[in-house]
A and B are shown apart, each in its own frame.
Chain A
Amino acid sequence: DGGITQSPKYLFRKEGQNVTLSCEQNLNHDAMYWYRQDPGQGLRLIYYSQIVNDFQKGDIAEGYSVSREKKESFPLTVTSAQKNPTAFYLCASSNLRTGGEQYFGPGTRLTVT
């Protein structure tokens, strides 16, 4: 069953701790993305990657880091430098060669207290 998965669905952390959000896809897509969504607002791009071992900052990359060691995986680390990390995090992937539409995972809701 092809798709994009994110885990866990809900995550709770104490302030000052780094936390890593998982994103895996088996769609054979080259491109992957991380977005942040705050209540009542649209999606903001954190990082994106068009190919393995390469990624670019999006609009709000400060306080976040990513890696792309495998085509299928694009984990996001929310570091302690992120001033307001509580949010809904969405991962997506796309095949830029066949249209570019993005397919999203179910999201991870992170709460930091």
Chain B
Amino acid sequence: DAKTTQPTSMDCAEGRAANLPCNHSTISGNEYVYWYRQIHSQGPQYIIHGLKNNETNEMASLIITEDRKSSTLILPHATLRDTAVYYCIVPPLYNTNAGKSTFGDGTTLTVKP
């Protein structure tokens, strides 16, 4: 699957937008970008995914560049409860490997009062 690169950590002020970047320069044409987050000692939670168009749901927005080599997850009004590790992954499409995902170390987002 396409390798992703994320910053190790980021801080954000409560109430401000948190913008988390991800590089996935080896992504293939039909591979999706998925974002998850993991709050300490819990199972990861799915946030959003996208192919080429920008996506928005009740949790976040996902902006994918036109060349699809990078993306940004946006939490529009970060709260203290958004403090977590955020993972960006690009799982492979082929049948035998479909869904097989590699979760790297992610970005630790700390929202500060």
Residues of A within 8 A of B (CB): 31, 33, 35, 41-45, 48, 50, 56, 58-59, 88, 90, 92, 94, 96, 99-107
Contact A99 B42 (CB under 8 A): no
From A41, A43, A94, contact of B44 by CB (8 A): A43
Majority SS of interface residues in chain A? Answer: strand
Contact A43 B96 (CB under 8 A): no
Question: Least Cβ distance of A41 to chain B in Å?
Answer: 6
Q: How far is the CA of A99 from the CA of B49 in the complex (A)?
A: 9
Assuming the A-B contacts A41-B105, A56-B96, are A100 and B43 also in contact, with contact meaning beta carbons closer than 8 angstroms in the complex? no
Question: Least Cβ distance of B41 to chain A in Å?
Answer: 8
From A42, A94, A102, A107, contact of B105 by CB (8 A): A42
For the complex, is B100 an interface residue (Cβ under 8 Å from A)? yes
Majority SS of interface residues in chain B? Answer: loop
Question: Least Cβ distance of B39 to chain A in Å?
Answer: 11
From B49, B98, B102, B105, contact of A101 by CB (8 A): B49
The interface centre, meaning the residue of B36, B46, B96, B104 with most chain A CB atoms within 10 A of its CB, is: B46
For residue B102, which residues in chain A have a CB less than 8 angstroms away from its CB? 45, 59
Q: How far is the CA of A41 from the CA of B101 in the complex (A)?
A: 15
The interface centre, meaning the residue of B45, B99, B104 with most chain A CB atoms within 10 A of its CB, is: B99
Q: How far is the CA of A105 from the CA of B41 in the complex (A)?
A: 11
Contact A31 B99 (CB under 8 A): yes
For residue B96, which residues in chain A have a CB less than 8 angstroms away from its CB? 56
Assuming the A-B contacts A43-B44, A90-B43, A90-B44, are A102 and B99 also in contact, with contact meaning beta carbons closer than 8 angstroms in the complex? yes
